[in-house]
Structure formats: C-alpha cells, structure tokens
Amino acid sequence: MSTTTVDRKSIRNSVGPGPAFHRVLNSEFIKFRTLMSTLILLASTALVMVGFAALSAWGTGQFAEQVANDPEAAAAMAAQGGDLAVSIPTSGISFAQLILGSLGVLLMSSEFTTGMARSTFAAVPKRLSPFLAKLIVVMVSAFLLTAVSIYIAGLVSLPIVDNYDLKLDLGSSQSVKLLLVNSLYVAAVAAIGMALGTIVRNSAGGIMSLVGLLFVAPIAFQLIPGDFFKEANKYLPTSTISPLTAVEHVPETLEAWQAALVLGAWVVVPVALAMVLLKKRDV
C-alpha cells in the first residue's frame, strides 16, 4: 500500500462515456454472439430450413410426376393455382419459428435464471435500453437468418425441382414476397418469445407459453366447437402468414392489411407489457 496515492482523493465524478444506446446495443450484440448455445440454435435453424426445403422439393416433384399420369390429380392441382414449387423454400418455417422463438425466450429468461440481469441492470440502470437493444439484436438476427436460410433453401431446391421439370424462380415477386413475409414473421415470433421470457423470467415457462400460442392454440381452436373459436383462430399469429402471402384474397381469412395489423399487435402488446414489468419489478 502506498501513501503517495492519497493525493488522488479528489477522484473525479464519472468522467468518460456512459451507456448511450449504441453502446448498449454493441454490448447486447457481444452477449448474443458469445454464447455457444445461441450459435448452435442459429446453425440448426438454417440446417433444418434447408433440409426441409430439399425434402419438400423432392416430395413436390414426386407428386408432380404422379399428377402427370393422373388426370384427376392434375385437375385438383390446377384448381390450387398450379404453382406448387414457389412455397418450397419456406417449407421449414414452422421449425424456424419454434427454434428462433425459443431463442428469444432464452436470451431474456437466462438473464434472470443465471443472475446476469443483476450485472446488466447495474451497468445500465435505465432498464429499457438493454431490453430494446436486445430486442433489436434478436429481431434483426432472426430476420436475417430466416431470409438467408430461405434463399439458400431455394438454391438447394432448384436442381431437385429441375429434375422433375418443375419451375422455381427465386427472383419472382411471389418468391420475394414469401421470403420477406416469412422472415418478418419469424422476427415477430422471436420478439414475442423475448417478451414472454421477460414476463415469465423462466425458460421452460416462456417456451411452453410460446409453444402453446404457436402450436397448441391453433389446433385447440379448431377442435372447440362454436363460431367464437373459429373466428378467434383467424387472429392467432400463425394464421397471419397465409393472408399476408396469398396471391389473391382467400375467403374466410383476414385481408392482408388486417393480418399485418394483427401480427403487429401480437408483437407490440407483449413487448409493451414486458417493458412495463421490467421497469417496475425488482431484478
């Protein structure tokens, strides 16, 4: 111990930069990319999406071959609009929403289960900025990963469908629309997951709520008799994709703009609730 250091008694009041939003964003991005489990989940999402698209391309090709020899099936196919191949690249989307939605839950719930939250919110006591930074990181990476995976899935499917003389144009407006809408949808689901993780603060509970919303509710609502549930089913997040990507409006579904609003509400409401609770509750 030295006595010469006593002249530092006039230690300044915090000099140097504080937690401005771009710094918090950088910090959240570091946290995001330094967890092996996150990287594994991202890689497996890409893998599953590409794999599913390849399988789907093969299945669709087989189906198209049968159709060629069967006038009845050909009629059924023509009634559907005929463009089977265009949805091949996005056929793995329900897995992507499950994995990336769970990732959204985990990234927030793990803050609380590991105690990391105490470090995070001691460094940035205005708690909303780390929350929003994390939300941006989660949504942007979910969007980009899904978009890139869909595109690669398309590239992988091309030679397969080509083999069956099916046409798949990745540059067509419908292909681009499917890619963008599905990627946005997965980003929305990841945001819902993160909000649930913040509200529940528990990984298993958050993931179960998300699975309930995305997979159980649509089936349950179909099974429960009554017009109310039939109507309510249209407003579930999973039901918004088809109106948003339909070539023309399908009866008994929402209009595209309605679907966009519904999906938006599914993001905004839980996120707002999560922010209020995060601000109010003790860490």
What is the contact surface with other proteins in residues (CB under 8 A)?
1-3, 5-6, 8-19, 23-24, 26-28, 30-31, 34-37, 110-111, 114-119, 121-126, 130, 282-283
SS3 of residue 11 by DSSP = coil
In the complex with other proteins, the residue whose CB is nearer, 7 or 72, is 7
Interatomic CA distance for residues 121 and 50, integer angstroms: 38
From the CB of 125, what's the least distance to other proteins, in Å? 4
Please identify, using beta-carbon distances, which residue of 30 and 76 lies nearer to other proteins. 30
Shortest CA distance to 255 belongs to which of 246, 265, 243? Answer: 243
Q: Residue 163: what are its φ and ψ, rounded to 5°?
A: -60, -30
State which residue, 5 or 80, has the beta carbon closest to other proteins: 5
| Closer residue to other proteins, CB minimum distance, 2 or 69 | 2
Q: How far is the CB of 240 from other proteins (least distance, A)?
A: 33
The residue type of 191 is: A
CA angle 216, 218, 223 (to 5 degrees): 90
Residue whose CB is less far from other proteins, 33 or 167 = 33
User: Rounded to whole angstroms, how far apart are CA atoms 113 and 106?
Assistant: 10
Q: Please say which residue, 19 or 51, places its beta carbon nearer to other proteins.
A: 19
Residues 6+ apart with CB under 8 A from 192: 101, 104, 210, 213, 237, 266, 267, 270, 271
**Minimal distance, residue 270 CB to other proteins, in Å:** 23
CA distance 257 to 51: 32
Q: Which is nearer to other proteins, 202 or 233 (CB)?
A: 202
What minimum distance in Å lies between the beta carbon of 237 and other proteins?
29
User: Residue 1 CB, nearest distance to other proteins (Å)?
Assistant: 5
Sorted by sequence, the CB contacts under 8 Å of residue 200 that are 6+ apart come out as 105, 109, 206, 209
d(Cα 101, Cα 264) in Å, to the nearest integer?
16
Query: Residue 118: which H helix or E strand, with range?
Result: helix 116-123
Distance of closest approach, residue 190 Cβ to other proteins, in angstroms: 19
Question: At its nearest, how many Å lie between other proteins and the CB of residue 146?
Answer: 24
